[in-house]
Amino acid sequence: MRATKTALFEAARRWEAAAVRTIATRLPSLAAATDPRGRTALHIACAVDPKGKALGEKDGTRTAAALLAAGAALEAFVPMPEGEGDFRASPLWYAAARGRNLPLVRFLLKRGADPSYALWTAAFHDDAALMRTLIAAKPRLDLVAHGETPIFYAARLRRLKTLPLLIAAGADPAIKDPQGRDAVDIARAAVAEGARRAPRGGERSGLRGQHDPRPTERRHLRRFTRSTIIVVISVI
């Protein structure tokens, strides 16, 4: 087996821990090598979907361990545009956002990875298990990416599983975005938008003589947006 960057990246992508170990032992400097996008082999391994076929293990933890043992940086960051703000594309973020791989996230956290950058991912997917795991690792809750803190982002997207977890953890809902809005403002805007979109009770559908066929959906939308604002305002 040749000790090349291509070989290492392919082994990392297939979660072939033994091959990774062999290649990295022969040429340790490859652990820090990057592809044209700035990703190391550890980023590549963390981005793998565990549900993929022909993988060498079930969750990638042995592959990640081999790369870390070879000298891969736990907090290597893929270059990002300036507008990303505090966000950093770390291996843990790749495991959470690309791989959706909670066991690997937990493994990296035990190794000391910073949980902060994956909070937006947990909010986006409204993934309570991931959010709880990240919060337990003591993240910095009030970082700002694209002008939004994780709690602002969760409020804007109306993520009712993860929003209360951020509130309970002590995230600050009063931090404003570049437009001067805080999490409460954006939640109120979500309520207003929901009210605007929801048909009024008793309105007719496009078919003469028939009521709107989706009253359950309308009620769900009203409950959903109301819950968002109540959850956020409860900590102010």
Q: How confident is the model at residue 212 (pLDDT cuts 50, 70, 90)?
A: very low
Q: Is residue 58 part of a domain?
A: no
Number of domains in the chain: 1
3-state class of 235 per DSSP?
A: coil
- Which CATH number do you get for residue 172? 1.25.40.20
CB under 8 Å to 13, separation ≥6 — which residues? 44, 45, 48
3-state class of 145 per DSSP?
A: strand
Q: What is the pLDDT of residues 88-119, one digit of tens each?
A: 999 999 999 999 999 999 999 999 999 999 99
Flag whether pLDDT at 27 surpasses 80: yes
Q: Is residue 14 part of a domain?
A: no
Domain limits at 125?
A: 115-199+213-236
**Distance from C-alpha of 78 to C-alpha of 84, rounded to nearest angstrom:** 12
Listed residue (40, 50, 42, 35) closest to 99, CA to CA = 50
Amino acid at 194: G
What pTM value is reported for the model?
0.83
Amino acid at 205: S
Mean pLDDT of the chain: 86
Flag whether pLDDT at 86 surpasses 80: yes
Q: What are 64's two structure tokens?
A: 């990640």
